[in-house]
Every structure is written in C-alpha cells, then in structure tokens.
Structure 1
C-alpha cells in the first residue's frame, strides 16, 4: 500500500516576490495506538495481545527514565533515542545553569534497517472527490 499525498503551493515567507513552488505533502491515514500495535504484533508471534501491550507500555516508561539518566537508548533494528535541548547563551560560563534550557526534544534516529524499509515506501496521488471547473 502506498502513502497518499496532496500537492500544496507554497510561497517564500522571506521573499514574497519569489514565485511559489509546488510541494508533495503526505496525507495521514489516521493513527495507530499502542493498543493497535499490540494487537498487530500479537497476530505475528506467539505472545498474547496483553503480553505485547505490557512490553510496549514498559518501553514507554523506561525510555524516558534512561534518557533522564543521561543514556542514549538503542533499540537494535528499530533505532535510537537521545535527548537534545535548546538553551539561551550566557556571557559567563558560571552563569550557565538548567534555567538556560528553554526547549527539550527527544530525537529518534532510525537504524540502517529501518531506513532501508522506509526507502521502500511508495507514494500515490490522492484523487479529488470533486470535479474542478475549467
């Protein structure tokens, strides 16, 4: 199955005189919840849905815990998670503290195998459900 997409015309915020360009934008098919993933995974292995859900829920709890202890969390062929921050600068080294942090981000880096699988994804233009008048 392919990811459906629309085409959007977007202009430059920096220079409005530059001609607009057309960009492909993927369309979401909805969401997959942890419950959905647990059910899907349980159908392809010998674990029950509740066993898979328990493991996934443990990951949700343990990844932030390991990140807050300063670790990069590597999950084999899935990829890795690490913390990144944006902070304001200080004129003096001794003035830098946790108060300088204004944004925390969890960064995910997919593994080589995951990237390889994502490279196989195809795209399909969404067919409009209405007729355009010429």
Structure 2
C-alpha cells in the first residue's frame, strides 16, 4: 500500500515573500514495542516476549553508551548520538558542565535502510481540514476580544478552535501575541493559560 502524504506551507519568515511547501507523511498511527515483538515473532524463532525484552534492554544500553561518550550504531538501521545545547550568550572562557544540556538524540539512517525506503510508493491525500487558514493579526485580535467577553482564560486548544489553525501554527501565533502584549500567559511553560493583557 502507498504511504499517504500532504503538502504544507513552511512557516512564514520575515523578508521572504514566496511561500515554500514541504511534504509530510500522514501517519496511520504508531507501531509500539508490543507490535514490533509480534511482527518479529512472525518472521523468526524469537518469541514476542524475547523481542520485547531485548528492545526494553536497549534503553539501558543506549543510556550507558551515551553517558560514556559513545554514539550507538545499529547495523541496517542507523546511528544515534547526543545533540547538545547551551545558552547562546555563554562565555567560552568560563563555560562549565552546568551550562550544557541534552537537546535530543540525533538519528542518521543507515545507507541500506535509505535504499530500501527508495522503493516506497507515495500517494497525495488532500484534506483541507489538516491545513491552517490564513488570517491577519487584526482579525485574530477581533476574535480574541469577542472570546474574552464570555471567557476568562484561553488554552491553546481554544485558540485553535477560534482561528482554525493547526497546533504548530497556533503555538507560533500565540507566542507572537504574547510578545506583542496582546495576551499574557498566567500558566506555566508546559501548561500555558492565556488571558487578555490589560495594557
């Protein structure tokens, strides 16, 4: 079966007039550890429990390897290594281990895996409900004003319903509205709750 995809506009950048598109897979869901165990069990003598045990143990082995300064390479799959971050204004002369944080884990697929994926067939699946509409900030503010006539707080999900934006565009727009002083986050970074800023 072909893998379905759709095209999305890249986030707007200041000074860039032409909007570029990027393709994105429309995911059917997630294949979890149990699913992998059952699939591998059908292809070899290992039981689903054996596979689950190995995959679970990999977490500890990945952690140990990263803590010892190694990258991890799984033949036929790819290599994994830590991605780090630090404050942009850190002084190289006085930087310490406390200034360095783990940003994430970088994955580089194996050449053989990429060659296999070149055989994948794709199908364009168009669905307007997955796309955010365009709306001027003045129109957004009008909608926000109307919203707060009847509501004290606004969550991201409320803003999505109000504007029709998808999650990523809603987050970007809310960040701009907070920076411009239109909204104020009275919640936390992980659980924001917005109110209308009284200027």
Task: Please classify the TM superposition score into its range, dividing by the shorter chain length.
Answer: 0.7 to 0.9
Shift of 1:24: 2.6
In structure 2, distance between residues paired with 1:21 and 1:11: 9
User: Aligned in 2, Cα 1:22/1:105: closer, same or farther, shift over 3 Å?
Assistant: closer
Q: Is the 8 A contact 2:5 2:26 kept in 1?
A: yes
Aligned residue for 1:3?
Answer: 3
In structure 2, distance between residues paired with 1:71 and 1:4: 36
Aligned residue for 1:132?
Answer: none
Aligned residue for 1:91?
Answer: 91
The TM-score normalised by the length of structure 1 is 0.81
Superposition pairs for residues 1-134 of structure 1, below 5 Å? 1-10=1-10, 12-15=12-15, 18-88=17-87, 89-93=89-93, 95-126=94-125, 128=127
In structure 2, distance between residues paired with 1:81 and 1:9: 29
Q: Is the 8 A contact 1:6 1:25 kept in 2?
A: yes
Q: Is the 8 A contact 1:11 1:19 kept in 2?
A: no
Q: Is the 8 A contact 2:85 2:101 kept in 1?
A: yes
Shift of 1:3: 1.3
Query: How well do the aligned residues superpose, as a CA RMSD in angstroms?
Result: 2.3
Q: Which has the higher strand share?
A: 1
Relative contact order higher in (CA < 8 Å, ≥ 6 apart): 1
Q: Which has the higher helix share?
A: 2
In structure 2, distance between residues paired with 1:106 and 1:98: 18
